[in-house]
Structure 1
Amino acid sequence: MRTGLLGTGPWAEMTHAPALQEHSVLEFVGVWGRRSEAAKQLADRFGTRAYDDVDALFADVDAVAVALPPAVQAELAVRAARAGCHLLLDKPLATTVGQGRAVVEAVREAGVASVVFFTSRFLPETEAWIAEQAGVGGWFTAHAQWLGSLFGGDSHSAFADSPWRQEKGALWDVGPHALSVLLPVLGDVRRVAAAAPGPGDTAHLVLDHVGGASSTVTLSLSAPPAAAGAAVELRGEAGVSVLPHSTAGAVAALVRAADTLLAAANTGRPHACDAAFGQRVTEILVEAQALLELSAG
């Protein structure tokens, strides 16, 4: 599968480009970015071609991997799908329901495959744990915490200066990770029962799931470094189950995500983390955002 990369930022450089380069089946054809000089530098580093014209890249590939802010991603994903490209997308799919719906409709009309890279869903330990807990059933409640220190203390992260993260905060950056783990186990969210802000960009959510369980979610990019980390705890008829730690990194997870895109393209069977799932996550986050704004007055 001939594959192009859209994006030249830290996530593209640290994760997407290495994963595309080391994948045993994908052919890394080229890079397009909103800054042509950055695209050239990234392409040179990974021994591929820089494209000035994104439509020319679409014409040369079978698939695109996207490492761009969600609003930009949504617009280009529609164009790529219409050009016949399979889509390896990033989370969140979009930050408005309309943008996300446009991607889903373009994927369906073009008949292309789509996978949204919710990192946790492509870590082997997490994937196995989710499948096991979904099969157990009888869950009463769950609590998820996704705490980062991007805006907490003296952060030197390459992502701290990301304009869309500064604008949208933890709800949109790490919220998709939490939802991607909770939904396949507890079922879809019937409603966001409550949402309240905490320190910095911290958000506390209470979710009502269609299976009858409830969950609470705490999200932040403003936590002190010593408090950062992710945890999920389930409680129900089978007792208590805790999300296991994974030793795999983001590059290995993205290689696995690319494998699922290949499988979906070859079989015509959608992956559980396709654009439609990404759109559902967007809808839940939009609902939560409205409640947070109402709570903040």
Structure 2
Amino acid sequence: MTTAGTTPPRIGLFGTGPWARNTQAPALAGHPGVELSGVWGRRAEAAKALAAAHGSRAYAGEEGIDALLAASDAVAIALPPDVQAPLAVRAARAGCHLLMDKPVATTVAGAREVAEAVAVADVASVVFCTLRFAPETAAWIAEQRAVDGWFTARAQWLGSLYAPGSSSEYADSPWRRDKGGLWDVGPHALSVLIPVLGDIEHLTAARGPADTVHLILRHTSGASSTVTLGLSAPPGAAGVEIEFRGAQGTATIPGWAGAEAAFRGAVDALAEAVRTGVPHACDARFGLRLTELLAQAEAQAA
């Protein structure tokens, strides 16, 4: 993957579900600095339809994986986490840089294998935690990192994906229904808290109603935080709130434009990591750390 010259870097997309259709594919196809080198799907017809919609080539089957890897400098993966992880290892070993969805995997072993493959292959990696790459929230996180004296923080991410009457296409996801809000939106919340307050040295988790999970965290900075996560809240109770409180007062996260703009930011971050050789803070190693924390919380809450 190159970031200079007349040939744009080629990024292949693995996945054809709603997330790929609504975010990754349009972001890649519309990005002026990259070429969408192809779309691979577990369902050949879905791959053909998504590739055709964006003027690209479709790939399917086991042989299609190797063919798209060979035709790409990097890959973006929009697949269930435990399908993503072995594919990411395979892509890294083929010399492709990685733009992965969160969580990297739902097992520590799977996430560690990805991080180790990235290190051995010496490829760049980015894990797409939306708030780390949306322009508005990325700038806000950087501002809070520069502030000293944070005392505590609160993060609440409640969706109504599985509330009665929900018609969201994202609800038709076996891994998301099985793992719940902890694994789906937990990475987003943690990816904001950790860069500002430091890594988590102690974690307590407890279950709430439906798939809701509550976390109490102590960070290496000495600050503490609380987190509430879930996908089954009534629509009127759904929403995202993150705030820090400390010696300088209170800081509340702003709104952001949407996932497609954030994904373009993640593409730019991957290109920068390739160009400079400096790993992005939200890379495969950070993805491994998130999986370790989520697995610990899941075990406690159970």
Q: TM-score range by the shorter chain?
A: over 0.9
The DSSP-based 3-state class of the residue aligned with 1:3 is: strand
The DSSP-based 3-state class of the residue aligned with 2:228 is: strand
Match of 1:261 among 250, 253, 270: 270
Report how far residue 152 of structure 1 moved. Answer: 1.2
The DSSP-based 3-state class of the residue aligned with 1:159 is: helix
Q: Which residue of 1 aligns with 2:41?
A: 33
Whole-angstrom CA distance in 1 between matches of 2:295 and 2:200: 13
- What is the identity, as a one-letter code, of the residue corresponding to 1:24? P
Report how far residue 98 of structure 1 moved. Answer: 0.5
- How many aligned residue pairs are there? 291
Report how far residue 153 of structure 1 moved. Answer: 2.2
Q: What is the correspondence of 1:213-228 to structure 2 with a 5 Å cutoff? A: 213-228=223-238
Does the alignment pair 1:187 with 2:212? no
Q: What is the correspondence of 1:25-174 to structure 2 with a 5 Å cutoff? A: 25-52=33-60, 53-174=64-185
Q: Which residue of 2 aligns with 1:292?
A: 301
Match of 2:285 among 273, 276, 296: 276
Match of 1:178 among 189, 192, 204: 189
Whole-angstrom CA distance in 1 between matches of 2:130 and 2:179: 19
The DSSP-based 3-state class of the residue aligned with 2:281 is: coil
The DSSP-based 3-state class of the residue aligned with 1:170 is: helix
Q: Which residue of 2 aligns with 1:233?
A: 243
Give the aligned CA root-mean-square deviation in angstroms: 0.8
The DSSP-based 3-state class of the residue aligned with 1:146 is: strand
Whole-angstrom CA distance in 2 between matches of 1:137 and 1:130: 13
Q: Which residue of 1 aligns with 2:3?
A: none
Report how far residue 132 of structure 1 moved. Answer: 1.1
Whole-angstrom CA distance in 2 between matches of 1:76 and 1:191: 32
C-alpha offsets along residues 87-118 of structure 1, whole Å, 9 cap, x if unaligned? 01100111111100100111111111000100
Whole-angstrom CA distance in 2 between matches of 1:128 and 1:213: 21
Whole-angstrom CA distance in 2 between matches of 1:126 and 1:19: 18
The gaps in structure 2 that reach 5 residues or longer are 1-8
- What is the identity, as a one-letter code, of the residue corresponding to 2:102? K
- What is the identity, as a one-letter code, of the residue corresponding to 1:43? A
Does the alignment pair 1:251 with 2:270? no
- What is the identity, as a one-letter code, of the residue corresponding to 1:202? T
Whole-angstrom CA distance in 2 between matches of 1:80 and 1:35: 20
The gaps in structure 1 that reach 5 residues or longer are none
The DSSP-based 3-state class of the residue aligned with 2:146 is: helix
User: What TM-score do you get using the length of structure 2 for normalisation?
Assistant: 0.95
Report how far residue 128 of structure 1 moved. Answer: 1.3
Whole-angstrom CA distance in 1 between matches of 2:284 and 2:227: 23
Whole-angstrom CA distance in 1 between matches of 2:41 and 2:191: 28
